[in-house]
Amino acid sequence: MKNVTKKIAINIGAGYTPGVNSIIMGAALAAQKLGWEVVGIQDGFEGLLFPDRYSDGGLINLGPEVIERLNPAGSDALGTSASIDPFHVRTENELGMIEEMDMSGTLLKNIQDEKIDAVISIVMGRGLSILYKLNQKGLNSVCIPRSVENDMAYTAVSFGFNTALSFTIDMLDRARQAAQSAKKIFVVEVLGEQAGWLALQSGIAVMADAVVIPELKCDIKKLGGFLNRKITTGRPYGLVVVAEGARFSEETLSTSTPVSSLKKSLSPLATGDEDSYVIHRSGKASELIATNLQQLVPFEVQPLVLNQWVRGGSATAVDRQIGLCYGAAAVRALDEGNDNTIVAFVPPEITFIPLADALNKVRTVPAHSEFMKVAQTLGIYTGA
Amino acid sequence: MKENNSTNPTGRVLNIQGYCSDDGPGLRTTVFLKGCSLRCKWCSNPESIHPKPELNYDAKLCKGAAACGLCLKAPFPKGAFYTVEGADDKVLVNWDLAGECTEELTSLCPTDALSMFGKLMTAEEVIAQVEKDTSFYRNTGGGVTISGGECLLQPDFTAAILRLAHERGIHTAIETAGNVPWEFMEKVLQHVDLMLHDNKLMNPERHKKWTGVDNKRLLENFKKAYETFPHVEFITRTPLIPGINADEEHIRAVLEFIKPYKNVIDYELLPYHRYGTGKYEFLGKIYELKDFNPPAPELLAHLRGIIDEAFGRKTQEK
């Protein structure tokens, strides 16, 4: 049976991505055509959870006059919050103590009170799980995949990837020029915790000497051997692109140090090295490779980290098109009764995948993918 | 707060650690309780923050989906664990869907890659473990220290353990940040020989920025404690973090605060460390202070010198 959606709300999950306005524009324009009302929830779900904090009540009308003035390359229409999780909202209780409260019930009630029939959420992987949980509690929603790492499965392209890729390529070009001039090997760390698409595709585009991705454990001795063959006095520079979630062979990683009694006393369940498991610490992968390579190659090795630089700027033409397309498609999903799905681009079609099926699905680089073959054909070391 | 009249109350314990040398005099057993009322960004014990038991995942111990894969199917919650195609087939945790995991479930993991942080214990169960090392306490002047999390969030439980310790002639200490209603602190202090308490930031706005609440109530609590319990010894402490509180202004403000009270016997600086960062990963959380570094030895020595001068003693190596 077809849903009777009349009012939809749009929100953005945690983290900044350039060009989200284009998604909002796509959804708003498509909804207007159906005669639906569209509002934006400010700062994730905070506009609905804490309306008193906002002079305009936390919701923004996204009527034609507002949409007309939006810049499709920007991301300033609604704002984001550090977390989109209404199940663990950090608050100060009546006793002046900090605690994480489950405010999902409040959120759903406020959605009902505002007569919002469905929510379009522009989310990354973790946001999907949150929306799935809200869906289990009765929320109608459609998600739009947003990932600068392009690691969301089922869709060939997540919104934001093309912009991140373009910027990364630009920065790698500069790094290469600097390496060339300084006669050094630059190890540049780019985003990619579980999937190495950004490292691999940007590495191919700039003809890097080597690309290290999370999908293949890196043996730095082999990498050093490769660079020693390729980097000579006639070509005294190099460029290695590494994804921040890169994994390393056992030989590369030093064995964990015993835990001292002081350490146990200060932090009773501490184990191993201080950062041995922390992959969220940006710069660790490039630092580890650079430090180890230093002993293996005759040229100076220098680590560089792009990290959050990639998340800013203006959206590319490709992302603007994808954004408009995904936004409009999300409204089509609601109009066709495909609630509780995620919009996916499976060339040449736009399809809608049930949220439950999309959970925990990470789009990684297959070892024998075309991109890997291309890299190897071009003489780029991948470790495969 | 509901009054607990039981002489053997139950509490949420994170860990009981023997042979500790930094939580009071002598060799001590430190009982870490679960649950905290602050959210300090530098916290080295993230597993102690939330009151309920929490899932802990050590990927190093996971055998992988092909060799095991037990947690990928029922009775484990749907979607809580998964794998991705890549360098290995180790299980990953969807922390948003794994919240329903219990000790009963994690005990099914054959390699202990999955376990729980925190368990319920009675005060008598705790003291039974503590008193095993009574001879060490006697020989070194040590005892038991109740730490956290925030041990004063469980006042009946903490008071009961300390009372039982006193009955056995064991020296008692607590470690607290003091952000609790005064009644909680008052109830526990009746059984305390030494209170180690934090003084993280004297500026209320900065305290709120880094810990989540301002310091008005906890400073009031400390003053009341000094005055109401003159027989209790107090040591104030600052976890010293460059860029947050590792400056003379803070140190001198704390010294000014404790100056009128003779039962505040020392002011200790605890240089910031990163020992706990790995545990954030075990809990699926992000360590927010990742770009901060421990204080330089010279700075530490300088600030300790100011404290030594205030206490009228020669500067000493610590």
Tens digit of pLDDT for each residue in A344-373?
Answer: 999 999 999 999 999 999 999 998 899 999
Partners of residue B39 in chain A, C-beta under 8 Å = 90, 98
Strands A210-212, A238-243: parallel, antiparallel or unpaired by DSSP?
parallel
Partners of residue A130 in chain B, C-beta under 8 Å = 96
Residue B132 DSSP one-character state? G
3-state SS, residue B248: helix
State whether B32 and A214 contact (CB < 8 Å): no
Best interface-test mutation with B: which of A92, A217, A360, A362 has the largest number of B CBs within 10 A?
A: A360
Q: What are the pLDDT digits (tens) for A45-102?
A: 999 999 999 999 999 999 999 999 999 998 889 998 888 899 999 999 988 899 999 9
Q: What are the pLDDT digits (tens) for B178-215?
A: 999 999 999 999 999 999 999 999 999 999 999 999 99
How buried is A70 (Cβ within 10 angstroms: 0-12 exposed, 13-18 middle, 19+ buried)? middle
Question: Which of these ranges, A82-91, B18-27, B236-245, B278-287, has the smallest mean pLDDT?
Answer: B278-287
Q: What are the pLDDT digits (tens) for A101-129?
A: 999 999 999 999 999 999 999 999 889 99
For chain A, say whether B93 makes contact (Cβ under 8 Å): no
State whether B21 and A261 contact (CB < 8 Å): yes
Do A150 and A161 touch, CB atoms closer than 8 A?
A: yes
Q: Which of A306, A283, A43 is nearest to A168 (CA)?
A: A306
Rounded mean pLDDT of chain B? 91
pLDDT of the residue at A116: 97
Do B307 and B267 touch, CB atoms closer than 8 A?
A: yes
Q: How far is B156 from chain A (nearest CA, A)?
A: 17
- What ipTM does the predicted assembly reach? 0.84
Q: How far is B10 from chain A (nearest CA, A)?
A: 21
State whether B180 and A130 contact (CB < 8 Å): no
Q: How far is A202 from chain B (nearest CA, A)?
A: 19
pLDDT of the residue at A274: 40
B94 vs A129, A261, A269: nearest CB: A129
Indicate if the pLDDT at residue A265 is higher than 50: no
Indicate if the pLDDT at residue B35 is higher than 50: yes
Closest alpha carbon within chain A to B98? A129
Query: Beta-strand (E) ranges in B153-262?
Result: 171-176, 194-198, 233-240
Best interface-test mutation with B: which of A212, A263, A269 has the largest number of B CBs within 10 A?
A: A269
Mean pLDDT on B132-161: 95
pLDDT of the residue at B85: 87
Mean pLDDT on B90-94: 93
What amino acid is encoded at A348 in this protein? P
pLDDT of the residue at B274: 66
For chain A, say whether B158 makes contact (Cβ under 8 Å): no
For chain A, say whether B94 makes contact (Cβ under 8 Å): yes
Residue B259 DSSP one-character state? T
A270 vs B82, B181, B278: nearest CB: B278
State whether B282 and A277 contact (CB < 8 Å): yes
Rounded mean pLDDT of chain A? 90
Indicate if the pLDDT at residue A261 is higher than 50: no
Do B58 and B279 touch, CB atoms closer than 8 A?
A: no
Please count the other Cβ atoms lying within 10 Å of the Cβ belonging to residue A42.
25
Best interface-test mutation with B: which of A267, A307, A382 has the largest number of B CBs within 10 A?
A: A267
Best interface-test mutation with B: which of A128, A265, A369 has the largest number of B CBs within 10 A?
A: A265
State whether B87 and A264 contact (CB < 8 Å): no
What proportion of chain A, given as a percentage, has pLDDT over 70?
91
Q: What are the pLDDT digits (tens) for A238-255?
A: 999 999 999 988 766 653
For chain A, say whether B287 makes contact (Cβ under 8 Å): yes
Strands B54-57, B114-117: parallel, antiparallel or unpaired by DSSP?
antiparallel
Indicate if the pLDDT at residue A277 is higher than 50: no
3-state SS, residue B6: coil
State whether A215 and B87 contact (CB < 8 Å): yes
* Residue B57: C-alpha distances to residues A354, B81, B285 (Å): 28, 11, 12
pLDDT of the residue at A249: 85
Q: How far is B167 from chain A (nearest CA, A)?
A: 25
Against a cut of 0.90, is the pTM above it? no
State whether B277 and A95 contact (CB < 8 Å): no
* Residue B274: C-alpha distances to residues A211, A266, A286, B142 (Å): 30, 10, 20, 27
Cα of first residue to Cα of last residue in chain A, in angstroms, is 50
Quick one: how far is CA A272 from the chain centroid? Answer: 29
pLDDT band at A234 (very low <50, low <70, confident <90, very high): confident
What proportion of chain B, given as a percentage, has pLDDT over 70?
93
pLDDT band at B289 (very low <50, low <70, confident <90, very high): low
| Contacts (Cβ under 8 Å, ≥6 apart) of A322 | A22, A157, A159, A162, A345
Q: How many pairs of residues across A and B have Cβ atoms under 8 Å apart?
A: 144
A269 vs B15, B79, B277: nearest CB: B15
Q: Does residue A43 come out as left (phi exceeding 0), alpha (psi in the -120 to 50 range) or beta?
A: left
State whether A278 and B96 contact (CB < 8 Å): no
Do A91 and A112 touch, CB atoms closer than 8 A?
A: no
B94 vs A85, A280, A360: nearest CB: A360
Q: Does residue A188 come out as left (phi exceeding 0), alpha (psi in the -120 to 50 range) or beta?
A: beta
pLDDT of the residue at B181: 96
pLDDT band at B2 (very low <50, low <70, confident <90, very high): very low
Residues 231-260 of B with CB under 8 A from A: none
H, E, C per residue of chain A: CCCCCCEEEEEECCCCCCCHHHHHHHHHHHHHHCCCEEEEECCCCHHHHCHHHCCCCCEEECCHHHHHHCCCCCCCCCCCCCCCCCCCEEEECCCCCEEEECCHHHHHHHHHHCCCCEEEEEECHHHHHHHHHHHHCCCCEEEEEECCCCCECCCCCCECHHHHHHHHHHHHHHHHHHHHHHCCEEEEEECCCCCCHHHHHHHHHCCCCEEECCCCCECHHHHHHHHHHHCECCECCEEEEEECCCCECCCCCCCCCCCCHHHHHHCCCCCCCCCCCCCCCCCHHHHHHHHHHHCCCCCCEEEEECHHHHHCCCCCHHHHHHHHHHHHHHHHHHHCCCCCEEEEEECCEEEEEEHHHHCCCECCCCCCCHHHHHHHHCCCECCC
State whether A96 and B37 contact (CB < 8 Å): yes
pLDDT of the residue at A281: 54
User: Tokens standing for A276?
Assistant: 């041995």
- Rounded CA gap, A211 and A224, in Å? 13
Ordered structural domains, chain A, with CATH: 7-159+315-347 (3.40.50.450), 164-311+367-377 (3.40.50.460)
pLDDT of the residue at B46: 86
pLDDT band at B317 (very low <50, low <70, confident <90, very high): low
